[in-house]
């Protein structure tokens, strides 16, 4: 039995993909469910699986662009292993040189009809491709940009060009949260099977701030402003293939443990390349943590069409003045970027102050469950 392998549907907005890594080359024996090919799309990488056991044959090459429904190859449960031989490239087209146009002699008058006819006879020059920079291959390496990386680059530029982005900064004393984590981390881990991290505190603080400043949970659609009445928060996750923002949905109804479990599950899927398009769609606000890489301060870029993004940074012991005395406290700089077309400066500062006050007094978030335990 022989069955064709086709490009599957990968979401309404995705119509094509680039052929990525061949996980099983032509001629390889595969078992049902084996990972055989990785397709790179604008948003996620899609892994294809063998429909049944047999020998695989590919009719495409790495880097090819394919569309939904295109045939990529086949699996033959009876055929002998096929040799891996990519199809030969098509022969180069011969460029026909345009015939020379006889020029008028010097001093002769060219009539209008002859001038127009002369223009029509002359072939239009083809646009010259921009030549690639010649590099020293011993010192530099050229490699094609992946579809995901191109999409990320385009979206970042689009964000800067399509919004009136403004960033405001503040700092937060992390002493209270760090004390709570130290006190309850073992109980929390034993009960819920996941560590109590900083991100769940930030998600809860952001949800409360969004309730107080609903413009941050809105977006522009044409000449209208659409306000969301739900709280779906995107959590930026860095991987070797780029930055992904999976969305934790319904955060207002989730416990600390449920938020931490969602984040861990998404981080695992991102590292394994198993995020789906549905994991990334939607989201009303984004949180990104450059502190895990050691960043002390940065200006996060908006994730269109969202109106706000909060940047977390490295916790650093710094001298601060409290009640007239200089003390050492674990401090974190916060950066809030927002779309000034929707959010006014006063509301932007109010939002960030609200987040800061909640984080410095996390008891108001009601960390204790109804059973009186963490």
In the chain, the largest separation of any two C-alpha atoms, in whole Å, equals 104
- CB 18 within 8 Å of CB 75: no
- Around Cβ 229, how many Cβ atoms within 10 Å? 7
- Residue 161 annotated among the catalytic residues of the structure: no
- CB 248 within 8 Å of CB 233: yes
Who's near 72: CB < 8 A, 6+ residues apart?
Answer: 5, 6, 7, 19, 37, 48, 58, 59, 60, 66
Number of Cα atoms under 13 Å in the Cβ half of residue 358? 23
- Around Cβ 249, how many Cβ atoms within 10 Å? 16
- CB 234 within 8 Å of CB 285: yes
Helix axes 175-192, 345-360, angle to 10 degrees: 60
Measured CA to CA in angstroms, residue 188 lies from 195, 226, 260 at distances of 7, 38, 11
Smallest CA-to-CA distance from 312 within 287, 343, 340 is with 287
**Distance from chain centroid for Cα 212:** 28
Hey, what are 240's tokens? 């070797």
For residue 247, report the phi and psi dihedrals to the nearest 5 degrees.
-110, 125
3 state SS of 207: helix
Of the residues 221, 340, 354, 361, which is catalytic? 340
Smallest CA-to-CA distance from 202 within 261, 287, 263, 266 is with 287
Which residues on neighbouring strands pair with residue 171, listed in sequence order? 333
- Residue 215 annotated among the catalytic residues of the structure: no
Of the residues 279, 339, 344, 354, which is catalytic? 344
- Around Cβ 71, how many Cβ atoms within 10 Å? 12
Give the residue numbers marked as catalytic: 340, 344
């Amino acid at each position: 039995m022989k069955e064709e392998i086709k490009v599957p549907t990968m979401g309404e907005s995705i119509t094509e993909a680039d052929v990525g890594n061949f996980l099983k080359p032509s001629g390889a024996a595969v078992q049902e469910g084996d990972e055989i090919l990785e397709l790179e799309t604008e948003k996620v990488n899609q892994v294809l699986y063998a429909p049944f056991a047999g020998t695989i044959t590919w009719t495409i090459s790495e880097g090819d662009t394919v569309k939904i429904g295109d045939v990529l190859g086949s699996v033959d449960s009876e055929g002998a292993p096929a040799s891996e031989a990519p199809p030969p490239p098509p022969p180069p087209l011969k460029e026909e040189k345009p015939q020379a146009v006889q020029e008028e002699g010097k001093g002769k008058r060219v009539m209008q009809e002859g001038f127009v006819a002369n223009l029509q006879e002359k072939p239009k020059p083809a646009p010259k491709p921009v030549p690639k920079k010649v590099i020293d291959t011993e010192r530099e390496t050229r490699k094609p940009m992946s579809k995901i990386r191109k999409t990320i680059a385009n979206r970042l530029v689009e964000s800067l060009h399509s919004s009136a982005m403004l960033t405001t900064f503040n700092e937060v004393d992390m002493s209270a949260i760090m004390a709570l984590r130290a006190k309850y981390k073992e109980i929390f881990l034993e009960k819920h099977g996941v560590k109590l991290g900083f991100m769940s505190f930030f998600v809860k603080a952001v949800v409360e701030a969004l309730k107080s400043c609903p413009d941050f949970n809105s977006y522009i659609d044409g000449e209208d402003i659409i306000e969301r009445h739900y709280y779906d928060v995107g959590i930026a996750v860095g991987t070797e293939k780029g930055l992904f923002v999976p969305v934790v949905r319904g955060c207002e109804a989730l416990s600390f443990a449920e938020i931490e479990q969602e984040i861990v599950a998404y981080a695992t899927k991102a590292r394994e390349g198993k995020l789906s398009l549905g994991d990334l769609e939607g989201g009303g606000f984004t949180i990104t943590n450059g502190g895990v890489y050691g960043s002390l301060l940065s200006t996060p870029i908006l994730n269109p069409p969202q109106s706000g993004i909060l940047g977390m940074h490295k916790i650093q012991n710094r001298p601060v003045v409290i009640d007239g005395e200089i003390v050492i406290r674990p401090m974190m700089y916060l950066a809030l970027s927002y779309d000034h077309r929707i959010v006014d400066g006063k509301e932007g500062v109010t939002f960030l102050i609200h987040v800061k006050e909640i984080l410095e007094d996390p008891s108001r978030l009601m960390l204790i469950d109804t059973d009186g335990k963490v």
